[in-house]
């Protein structure tokens, strides 16, 4: 028995920070870089990461490296679900291959933490033939993050699970935080939650800055930001007009004035250089380094923009999915 899965990294096209508010949305797209995993039957459950084998029971007893916390928590959560359903546990060897980090072991900022939860869930779903739907897997992933105390907006989880571009509206966070139930929530409708699969998006050029700065979470996000941001996301969803990409970046720059380091020098150069060529560009994700994107309406701008970015120390990643991929 050998089961293999791969799950993609993600990029926020528009709506980062907006989607932190319950009932507010973002557009997220999967990319052609993946976290991959393989399960093989074994006499004891072992996680292999970076050529190092970690027995699962040892990780439970003694604690585990930071990069395996999501994986171990996911296996434990799924085991509890199986016990509830009366399904006997299986032992396996789990090998992880992470392509969401560079050769220098630096993250691209494509959602590797979310991907580690999703990859493990998808593999276990196949191993045990539980036939859980993508929506149920999404809810599981959120509940695992809740147990870990590391809740994201959920847009990263949804995109990685469904593996297509999508419009995601966040569930009611206050409702979830107050809920004491766990597995019962898998079968219930979640307030505000909406996941709309999108068939097509414009083309984007992706630039990686190789910068990483610790996020400053002290800046307050006020109601005015959420109101304007949500309107821009909706406008973009129905038009894909790059004017809303420009306006959303302006909004993020306003927010960046309150959050030290959010717009790094290279991210600033990435956006400015694209704008000088008449191309709409923005950061993708929380900022503080990592990636920026530029909407490509005219293929002729790709070569000059690539050169300008490279001259500014920005690496172009050929990871945006074409329509037939």
Neighbouring-strand partners of residue 81:
none
Q: What is the mean pLDDT of residues 141-168?
A: 96
Question: Phi/psi at 29 (nearest 5 deg)?
Answer: -130, 140
**What is the structure's pLDDT at 51?**
82
Q: Span 70-81, mean pLDDT?
A: 97
Rounded mean pLDDT of 69-79? 96
Average pLDDT over residues 87-107: 82
- pLDDT, residue 102, reads 62
Task: Report strand pairing: 315-317 vs 203-212.
Answer: antiparallel
325's tokens: 């991929």
Q: What is the pLDDT of residue 105?
A: 57
Q: Is the dihedral of CA 271, 272, 273, 277 positive or negative?
A: positive
Q: What is the rounded average pLDDT of the residues 25-34?
A: 96
pLDDT band at 304 (very low <50, low <70, confident <90, very high): very high
pLDDT band at 106 (very low <50, low <70, confident <90, very high): low
Both tokens of residue 49?
């990461």
Place of tokens 């150069």: 269
What would you report as the CA-atom Rg of the chain, rounded to the nearest whole angstrom?
Answer: 20
Q: Which residues lie below 8 Å from residue 55, measured CB to CB, with a gap of 6+? A: 44, 45, 46
For 167-176, write each residue's pLDDT tens digit.
999 999 999 9
Answer whether residue 323 shows pLDDT above 90: no
- The total number of residues shown for the chain amounts to 325
Q: Using 50, 70 and 90 to split pLDDT, how confident is the model at 66? A: confident
Band of residue 93 on the pLDDT scale cut at 50, 70, 90: very high
User: With contact defined as beta carbons under 8 Å apart, do 279 and 303 qualify?
Assistant: no
pLDDT at 108: 66
Residue 262 and residue 273 in contact, taking contact as beta carbons nearer than 8 Å:
no
Residues 92 and 39 sit within 8 Å (Cβ to Cβ)? yes
Per DSSP, helices labelled H in 99-154 are: 112-127, 134-148
Model pLDDT for residues 116-141, shown as the tens digit of each residue: 999 999 999 999 999 999 999 999 99
Apex 45 CA angle, 43 and 48, nearest 5: 115
Residue in 167, 121, 164, 163 with CA at minimum distance from that of residue 142: 121
* CB proximity list for 105: less than 8 A, separation 6 or greater: none
Report the alpha-carbon distance of residue 155 to residue 258 in Å, rounded: 24
Q: Could you give all domains of the chain from N- to C-terminal order, each with its CATH number? A: 2-197 (3.30.230.10), 203-317 (3.30.70.890)
Q: Is the dihedral of CA 3, 145, 86, 57 positive or negative?
A: positive
pLDDT of 109 over the 80 cut:
no
* Selected residue with higher pLDDT from 116 and 64: 116
Mean pLDDT on 213-239: 92
Q: Provide the percentage of residues in the chain whose pLDDT is more than 70.
A: 96
Cα distance between residue 304 and residue 274, in whole Å = 10
Is it the case that residue 32 has pLDDT exceeding 90?
yes
Largest interatomic CA distance in the chain: 62
What global pTM score does this model have? 0.94
| Residue of 106, 30, 110 lying closest to 292 (CA atoms) | 110
pLDDT value at 13 more than 90 = yes
What is the spatial distance between Cα 134 and Cα 248, in angstroms, rounded to a whole number? Answer: 30
For 137, the 3-state DSSP assignment is: helix
In percent, the amount of the chain with pLDDT more than 90 equals: 82
For residue 257, the model assigns a pLDDT of: 87
Mean local confidence (pLDDT), 21-36: 96
pLDDT exceeds cutoff 90 at 177: yes
Residue 57 confidence (pLDDT): 92
Q: Spell out the residues 6+ positions from residue 73 whose beta carbon is closer than 8 angstroms to its own.
A: 117, 144, 147, 148
Contact assessment for residue 267 and residue 240, using Cβ atoms and an 8 Å cutoff: no
> Given this model, what pLDDT does residue 213 score?
84
Average pLDDT, the chain: 93
């Amino acid at each position: 028995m050998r089961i293999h899965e791969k799950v993609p990294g993600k990029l926020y096209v528009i709506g980062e920070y907006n989607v932190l508010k319950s009932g507010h949305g973002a557009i997220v797209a999967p990319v052609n870089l993946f976290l991959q995993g393989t399960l093989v039957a074994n006499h004891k459950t072992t996680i292999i990461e970076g050529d190092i084998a970690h027995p699962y029971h040892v990780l439970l007893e003694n604690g585990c490296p930071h990069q395996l916390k999501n994986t171990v928590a996911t296996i434990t959560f799924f085991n509890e679900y199986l016990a509830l359903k009366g399904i006997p546990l299986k032992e396996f060897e789990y090998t992880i291959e992470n392509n969401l980090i560079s050769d220098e072991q630096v993250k691209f900022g494509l959602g590797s933490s979310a991907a580690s939860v999703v990859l493990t869930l998808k593999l276990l779903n196949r191993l045990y033939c539980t036939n859980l739907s993508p929506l149920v897997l999404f809810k599981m992933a959120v509940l695992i993050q809740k147990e870990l105390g590391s809740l994201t907006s959920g847009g990263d989880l949804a995109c990685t699970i469904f593996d297509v571009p999508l419009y995601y509206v966040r569930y009611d966070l206050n409702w979830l935080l107050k809920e004491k139930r766990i597995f019962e929530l898998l079968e219930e409708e979640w307030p505000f939650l909406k996941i709309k699969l999108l068939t097509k998006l414009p083309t984007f050029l992706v630039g990686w800055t190789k910068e990483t700065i610790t996020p400053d979470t002290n800046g307050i996000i006020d109601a005015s930001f959420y109101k304007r941001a949500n309107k821009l996301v909706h406008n973009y969803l129905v038009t894909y007009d790059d004017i809303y990409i420009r306006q959303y970046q302006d909004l993020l720059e306003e927010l960046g004035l309150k959050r030290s380091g959010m717009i790094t020098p290279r991210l600033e150069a990435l956006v400015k250089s694209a704008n000088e060529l008449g191309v709409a560009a923005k950061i993708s994700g929380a900022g503080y380094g990592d990636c920026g994107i530029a909407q490509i309406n005219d293929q002729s701008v790709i070569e000059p923009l690539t050169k300008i970015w490279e001259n500014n120390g920005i690496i172009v990643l050929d990871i945006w999915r074409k329509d037939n991929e």
